[in-house]
Chain A
């Protein structure tokens, strides 16, 4: 389908100009600057004259990989982000599908479901911190006991809270995707006498593949980079089980004032995230729009 639609004639490439220019100035150039900083011995003693900070090539990278908790942190970050992303899928799909049919109060329900995503992360973090404290209401309501914000259970606390705050993104995208399901598809399904489950499984869900894959991917990337929520929930220094990457780079930057090292850590994580990203993109063929149907 793409072959036929994509044309080479009269390409209005100028339409890229506004987006391209902004991306260049606000993302590409700062990113290049950040890469340069990662090669400097930049700390509290050299920051004022930062251009003159000693150029130490890849020493920061070596230190990041060898001497810091970076590898551990990347493991935690990727594991919890993946779990949250997997959890977003059923919630997001269920919400989109259940709010698709017209019913009284649908607008309100659609909006309310979005609220967790609307609250700033530090509000979500502060609220859950209080809910999850040892004498807080979570333990009282569920009859559980002990620590949620430190120790092994803290990992699950992070998954739960991040999932609560993040799933509406998938819902939002799935809801939009549902709109492009052609009415004729419904007609056909009705003629075939497909039940609701069969229709969902074989007709509707395949159509949502694009937007939902996109949502899951973005959700994963956002979780990997999410700083405020773990920071507010667990504080610094992080308990070992929730020592996620953004908090680690924050500590290097603002508690230890190892700015160069901190940027190097962020770059390493960027690269490590880029690898699964590339694999995923090939697998779901998101970029070509051709699915393995």
Chain B
């Protein structure tokens, strides 16, 4: 590229940036809002599609009554789709005003500095920080004074179990330790039936198991900016997780190719006794399956592998803190309106109706308390209260990927029915390096 072209390009870039910047003037939201349209980006719900559209219309109507402005909902179909939209919008400085994000993505969103950090005044505009369940605020920001994510829905992970199978084997309740769960699974494994259904080929499930076991052992994979992926407890967690199939043989061999969906299908077929790492949304599928009425939810074990009680320093986390946070884009020209929309979405009334329609737990304290008394939800509500957050670092996404990669690359061995110790150590070493580099880059 010659000099002149380079200068011209730079000029074009600067012009583009200037144009984008000009569009950023914050117009006051006071007064007449008619004609103003806010855009909110949310995950699409293909299980309750019509209900979701009706909910969009309901929110839009209510919001118009309250403020005079309209809300337009856009949906994304996959995390892939969502990330592309966020990236393009952040770079171009235009796009949706409000985004609903998965909780584990919040640290990355925070790192981009593209979303509004909530000051006291902003929290007041969404109805006060204390309207939310304290646990759900766990991953809103690095600390209380720098929060970007406003909790919107809670989806803690639990374990489904087949009541009939457990009763037939004389097991009165699921174990509270991972070793205990393995023993129960062994007891439950027989011809045509396995103790556990695990989606080893899933892109998200594997790291959640490792995260849970290491957190419970008191040696979290990330602590104070240091990665501990090559620690003894991390290795034990992988050996436990992979061992279910390779050595304990309590998982169908075919599970090396399963995603979460196939694991649910196996459990729904009545071919597995336990289905760990599912959220309340699995209820829709399971209630249409052969095990409808025969299954229940329990919290997952909280005592790490190799232990019989919670070690000192261990956290009895039942689940990662999971669900959706909403964030407001800094480039939004209607910040106050956006906050007003969030206030509406997190009100007790809307949160209750959201739960009733979509089965996702409220983050609004009053709405959650009202639900707590429902026995069918006991385990899920309990797990919501005992969830722990993943570390708040902009590098978390890379750590998560490194954790999953260890499982992905172990699958050929796993399929042959073994966990190669030397190879696992090697993979963990690589993962440690990658994760630490990402954490070092975090600002």
Contact = CB atoms under 8 A, between A and B. Distances in A.
**In the complex, is A directly touching B at CB under 8 Å?**
yes
Interface in A151-186: 151-152
Interface stretch (A41-49, A100-108, A216-224): A41-49
A147 B412 contact: yes
B296 interface: no
Nearest to B258: A133
A150 B415 contact: yes
Contacts of B257: 132-136, 147-150
A32 B2 CA distance: 12
Contact of B108 (A33, A44, A132, A147): A44
B411 A32 contact: no
A237 B80 contact: no
Contacts of B254: 133-135
Given A134-B253, A147-B257, A254-B80, A47 B114 contact: yes
A50 B14 CA distance: 11
B112 A47 contact: yes
Given A45-B112, A147-B257, A255-B401, A51 B14 contact: yes
Contacts of A237: 401, 404-405, 408
A72 B168 CA distance: 52
Given A133-B262, A147-B256, A151-B415, A44 B1 contact: no
Contacts of A254: 80, 83-84, 87
Given A48-B112, A135-B252, A147-B415, A239 B408 contact: yes
Given A254-B84, A256-B438, A45 B394 contact: yes
Contact of B411 (A239, A251, A259): A239
Interface of B: 1, 5, 9, 12-14, 16-17, 80, 83-84, 87, 90-91, 108, 111-114, 201-203, 252-259, 262, 330, 394, 397-398, 401, 404-405, 408-409, 411-412, 415, 438, 441-443
Nearest to A136: B257
Interface string A227-269: 0000100011111100000000001011111010000000000
B270 to A, nearest CB: 15
Interface residues of A, number: 38
Contacts of A132: 257
Given A36-B13, A238-B408, A239-B408, 19 more contacts: A45-B113, A45-B442, A48-B112, A51-B17, A134-B254, A135-B252, A135-B254, A147-B415, A149-B201, A149-B257, A150-B411, A235-B201, A239-B412, A240-B409, A253-B87, A255-B397, A255-B398, A256-B438, A257-B397
Given A45-B394, A133-B257, A251 B409 contact: no
Nearest to B113: A48
Main secondary structure of the interface of B (DSSP, over half): helix
A43 B202 CA distance: 26
A51 B13 contact: yes
Interface of A: 29, 32-33, 35-36, 43-45, 47-48, 50-51, 132-136, 146-152, 231, 235-240, 251, 253-257, 259
B108 to A, nearest CB: 6
Contacts of B253: 134
Contacts of B401: 236-237, 251, 255-256
A44 B394 contact: yes
A66 B425 CA distance: 23
Q: Which of B16, B257, B408 neighbours the largest number of chain A CB atoms within 10 Å of its CB? A: B257
A151 B411 contact: yes
Contacts of B12: 29
A36 B442 CA distance: 24
B395 to A, nearest CB: 9
A86 to B, nearest CB: 26
Nearest to A152: B412
B22 to A, nearest CB: 14
